Amino acid sequence: MPDLFSEFRIKSVTLRNRIAVSPMCQYSATDGMVNDWHLVHLGALARGGSGLIVAEATGVSPEGRITPGCTGLWNDAQAEGWRPIIRFIEEHGAVPGIQIAHAGRKGSAARPWEGDCHLAIDDSQAWQPVGPSPIAFGGILPRVPHEMTLQEIARVRADFVAAAQRARDVGFKWLTLHFAHGYLAQSFFSPLANQRTDDYGGSFENRARFILETLAAVREVWPDHLPLTARVGVLDYVEGEQPMEESIELIRRMKAAGLDFIDVSMGFNTPDVSRVPWGEHAFLAPIAQRIGREVGLPTATSWNINDPVKTDELIRTGQIDLAMIARALLSDPHWPYHAAQALGRELPQNVLPPPYAFWLKR
Ligand code: 8OZ
């Protein structure tokens, strides 16, 4: 069995280890453009030795952002901005990935440290959020979304395709579709957010349609030799969510539509997260393992993955193929180095760049 420091191969991509940077919003872009912040933030993570770096939820359109500070890929200038970041990540031995997203009814929000709530309607940076049905998320995101027309659904699909093409053209090697966390695609799948009576709502087939069509359209342009992955919210821990069997069937159909890898996450389709077992280390891992086995896809999960010994065990026992690590890597980009120490392992050659290895091994 592989361990935390084993390579991971998928399609033409090889990761130097099983430590992956989970996408983490930085809310620090202007007009969707990355800047020095993103280079230093992601560069530090590459320097720190992780195998895969998935850049934050990046809007496929201005209205697809969560906040006005989110990154975007709806124009070529934004795409070009990623090139130095991609170059730095690759020069330091990591694989550059990006998560493309549409925030749906949770969009048009203030940055978390500026309130996290929907922007006022008359705020110059606000926009009208959209969704499958005119049902507000609630809590601090009370705005009722505009119910998307079929034409608008087709437009968002085309926006995902265009963003995937830009990601491909500037050199990302790993693409993650954000189909989780109550954002647009996830909200089409969830009966908690979708009460449409047309082909995009009601039955399982109809609620799955937005995700499956978007995935299939992206697969047409995303190179066959590169992994096409998705982060999917498989449960919400609230009454009224879809049964797990539906989530598993969705992922089975996603595999048939060209998905190569699944990152199992939550729904967050309502403000009620009181039943999420936050305190348990890697609490989604058993669910990810079940999905990976039943569907037959390489699998990752995230959430509260921070203990090196327990994380190594998740890999060695075959529960997950990759550990998507977020906060632990933010607080310590050199988590891979410290994990090797905690595991009593000789430091793999490729975890520290030579100028650091030289000093730290003395
Ligand atoms: C965790 C929970 C809810 C949303 C994202 C900003 O997925 C998020 C998010 C993360 O982009």
Output the CA 56–ligand 1 centroid distance in Å: 9
* Ligand 1 mutation target, pool 66, 141, 304, most atoms within 8 A of CB: 66
Q: What pLDDT sits at residue 27?
A: 98
**Inter-residue contact 233 to 262 (CB < 8 Å):** no
Helix (H, G, I), strand (E, B) or coil at 230: strand
pTM check: above 0.95: yes
Q: What pLDDT sits at residue 361?
A: 82
| Ligand 1 pocket check for 65: Cβ under 6 Å | no
Angle between helices 308-316 and 335-342 (to 10 degrees): 80
Burial tier of 105 (Cβ tally within 10 Å: 0-12, 13-18, 19+): buried
Which among 230, 299, 294 is positioned nearest to 258, based on CA atoms? 230
Q: What pLDDT sits at residue 267?
A: 97
Output the CA 181–ligand 1 centroid distance in Å: 6
Task: Determine the Cα–Cα distance for residues 61 and 267; give it in Å rounded to an integer.
Answer: 22
User: Which single residue is written with the structure tokens 């124009």?
Assistant: 75
Angle between helices 204-221 and 244-256 (to 10 degrees): 30
| Ligand 1 pocket check for 25: Cβ under 6 Å | yes
Does the annotation mark 183 as catalytic? yes
pLDDT, block means (10 residues), the chain with 362 residues: 97 98 98 98 98 99 98 98 98 98 98 97 97 98 98 98 99 99 98 98 98 98 99 98 98 98 98 97 98 98 98 98 98 98 94 94 76
| Ligand 1 pocket check for 181: Cβ under 6 Å | yes
Q: Catalytic residue among 183, 200, 337, 356, which?
A: 183
* Ligand 1 mutation target, pool 21, 22, 24, 25, most atoms within 8 A of CB: 25
Output the CA 321–ligand 1 centroid distance in Å: 22
Which among 306, 305, 307, 270 is positioned nearest to 288, based on CA atoms? 305
Encode 318-342: b = buried (16+ Cβ within 10 Å), e = exposed: ebbbbbbbbebbeeebbbbbebbee
